Amino acid sequence: MTTNDQLFERARQVIPGGVNSPVRAFRAVGGTPRFIARAQGAHMWDAEGTQYIDYIGSWGPMILGHGHPAVLEAVQKAAVEGFSFGAPTEREVELAEEIIRHVPSIEQVRLVSSGTEAGMSAIRLARGATGRSKIIKFEGCYHGHADALLVKAGSGLATFGHPTSAGVPAEVVQHTLVLEYNNVEQIEAAFKAHGPEIACVMIEPIAGNMNFVRAQVPFVRRIRELCDQHGALFIFDEVMTGFRVALGSAQSLYAQAIPGFQPDISVFGKVIGGGMPLAAFASSRRIMAHLAPLGGVYQAGTLSGNPVATACGLATLREISRPGFFDALGARTRALVEGLKGAADAAGVPFCVDSQGGMFGFFLMPELPQNYTTVMTTDQPRFNRFFHGMLERGIYLAPALYEAGFVSAAHTDADIAATVAAAAEVFRTL
């Protein structure tokens, strides 16, 4: 049997850091990453045969769990028909129609292959549509690794403590304004100073790369007002939250609290691909008309709308559209976080939790943080002990303090109970 240690040593010889995405390296928590051999339902098995209850779900896409029969059938059929054509397919149209059906703010969709590509293209579209250069993002929000967005980002960058990335020239980010999340005064000041130059404001409505931090309703409402007042576009980055926190995505939750609320551009990924490399950006016909081949904003991709990926995504969206799906998923996620909170309280460990749909987060602190600065005060060594304690008991959580967790429809009451029981043991050791 090949061990995780042996695989990691081999990987480090041929892959930088031994991983193809930095957070997988366990650098933040220490130890050896687990090399996964297979997965089914809510469980994964590593190269050594150790079984885990999976709460990362490929960082969000696996909302149905691994190996859902309807999804497997759709993917297998599509694979037989052909891996890639470089030409349009009917399934691309079907997937776009399915996304639009659930999200009232959008009329047209452009499919791409990754969340980074979608976020980068959404900003290019906003700049092209407005004729402006400046963009606003928020500290701790991660929108992919495009150069202009790697400024005080969250996710893997937060994990390694670097506020920016090497290799990004200062002149590339000179038009990127970085503000504090949930700070109304700062966004007002930014528009007062730069209003006519601002092309867009981009936000994660629930920042899953600060673990789990919600954009407060008054904050979102004020951004919408300021964008309307100054002619800027409001981009909702729903790569993580899209079809994960609600069938209508996070924007549907804000529409319930803010009458008439809609973002101008939406970015999707993860769930819409069902685990395959697929993402999208979407908007009104008026804004999307700026895209080539209709307009002057260029965007293209050889594998965009890949027929196997669209089959996977379409089957996933059809399954989660079934009546009662999100009610059940939300209840299962709440059972998990409430159980974790109860176990922490019983052990006297400062602990707070939040969840929405099939997405959750927790912090080893008394109250939920509202911005990146507060998130960074979390007790990192204590989290690392908690992570490894859970991993040793067969619970696979995100190997970084700054990442949200995910529950799938495949998680059972027994899985939740086993997770809470493991946490109770670990909390008593912290």
pLDDT in tens, 368-392: 999 999 999 999 999 999 999 999 9
Q: Per-residue pLDDT for 158 more than 50?
A: no
> Of residues 270, 396, 402, 415, which has the active-site annotation?
270
Cα 97 off chain centre by: 22
b/e per residue, 134-156, with b = 16+ CB within 10 A? bbbbbbbbbbbbbebbbbbbbbb
Mean per-residue pLDDT for 142-165?
65
Q: What is the CATH number of the domain that holds 163?
A: 3.40.640.10
Beta-strand runs (E) in 183-284: 198-203, 206-207, 213-214, 233-238, 265-268, 279-283
Whether 137 sits among the annotated catalytic residues: the reply is no
Residues, the chain, total? 430
pLDDT, tens only, 299-343: 999 999 999 999 999 999 999 999 999 999 999 999 999 999 999
**Residues 6+ away with beta carbon under 8 Å from 73:** 315
Instruction: Pull the structure tokens for residue 264.
Output: 């101008």
The stretch 133-149 carries a mean pLDDT of 91
Residues 263 and 176 in one domain: yes
CATH of the domain at 350: 3.90.1150.10
What are the distances in angstroms from CA 371 to CA 225, 240, 392?
A: 21, 18, 31
The total number of structural domains that make up the chain:
2
Are 114 and 221 in the same domain?
A: yes
- Amino acid type, 238: E
C-alpha neighbours within 13 Å on the C-beta side of residue 429:
14
Domain shared by 400 and 416, yes or no:
yes
Phi/psi for 406 (5° steps) reads -140, 135
Q: Are residues 309 and 327 in the same domain?
A: no
β-strands 233-238, 265-268 pairing: parallel
Are residues 213 and 287 both part of a single domain? yes
Range of the domain at 233: 69-320
- How far is residue 313's CA from residue 322's CA, in Å, rounded to a whole number? 15
Looking at the fold, whether 276 and 335 belong to one and the same domain comes out as no
Proportion of the chain in helix, strand, coil states, percent, rounded to 5? 45, 15, 40
Told to judge if 77 belongs to the known catalytic residues of this protein, a careful annotator would answer no
Confidence class of residue 165 from pLDDT cuts 50, 70 and 90?
A: confident
Known catalytic residue: 237?
A: yes
Q: What is the CB neighbour count within 10 angstroms for residue 381?
A: 11
Which of 301, 320, 339 is the last residue before a domain boundary? Answer: 320
pLDDT 10s digits, 399-410 = 998 899 999 999
pLDDT, tens digit (0-9, with 9 covering 90-100), for 228-273: 999 999 999 999 999 999 999 999 999 999 999 999 999 999 999 9
State the catalytic residue, choosing from 52, 55, 142, 396.
Answer: 142
User: Which listed residue (52, 54, 181, 237) is catalytic?
Assistant: 237
pTM equals 0.95
Residues 295 and 406 in one domain: no
